[in-house]
Amino acid sequence: MKTSLGLVLAALAVLTAACDFNLKSTRRFRLPQGNADNGKAAFVALNCTTCHTVTGVDLPKPTVEPTAVVGLGGEVARLRTYGDLLTSIIHPTHALSEKMNPLAVKAAGTSPMPVVNDRMTVTQMVDLVTFLQPRYRQLPPPVEWYYPL
């Protein structure tokens, strides 16, 4: 009897861990389909172009110092999901970009990117992500480093 109770408890522990029940989980979070053209317009309207260029898109030139410009899109080691981009936009300090100079990130501690949450509509946010997400392309993995010939 003792053993079976132990087994049940162990099984329960495994099951609970497997469920990974977490009230902060964003697993079932889905955005509605956005509009990329409107996203481009929002990108200009919200002054994102002050600091950013976007690969393959004709936009007003950034006005910050050239070293402070952060290019969005293009070839990256890790593709950006909707979740990554949303987090970057509405919670910039949480996900400091791999593109920013690591020393600058360390020195700043927070992202220099302004929070526009009180000015941006939800529709603009969805459209911005729809505009930006397909601009990223994944770099092929450096296979030859792992399998030298």
- Contact residues: ligand HEC, CB under 6 A: 43, 46-48, 50-52, 70, 72, 80, 85, 88-89, 92, 95-97, 99-100, 111-114, 116, 128, 132
Q: Angle CA(38)–CA(40)–CA(78) in degrees, nearest 5?
A: 120
- Shortest distance (Å) from residue 55 CB to ligand HEC: 10
Q: Which is nearer to ligand HEC, 15 or 74 (CB)?
A: 74
Q: Which is nearer to ligand HEC, 109 or 148 (CB)?
A: 109
- Shortest distance (Å) from residue 25 CB to ligand HEC: 22
Q: Of 48, 53, 50, 56, give the one whose Cα is nearest residue 71.
A: 53
Q: Angle CA(128)–CA(129)–CA(133) in degrees, nearest 5?
A: 125
Q: Which is nearer to ligand HEC, 9 or 98 (CB)?
A: 98
Q: Could you give phi then psi for residue 70, rounded to 5 degrees?
A: -115, 115
* Secondary structure (3-state) at 94: coil
- Shortest distance (Å) from residue 78 CB to ligand HEC: 9
Strands 70-72 and 52-54: what pairing? parallel
Q: Which is nearer to ligand HEC, 23 or 103 (CB)?
A: 103
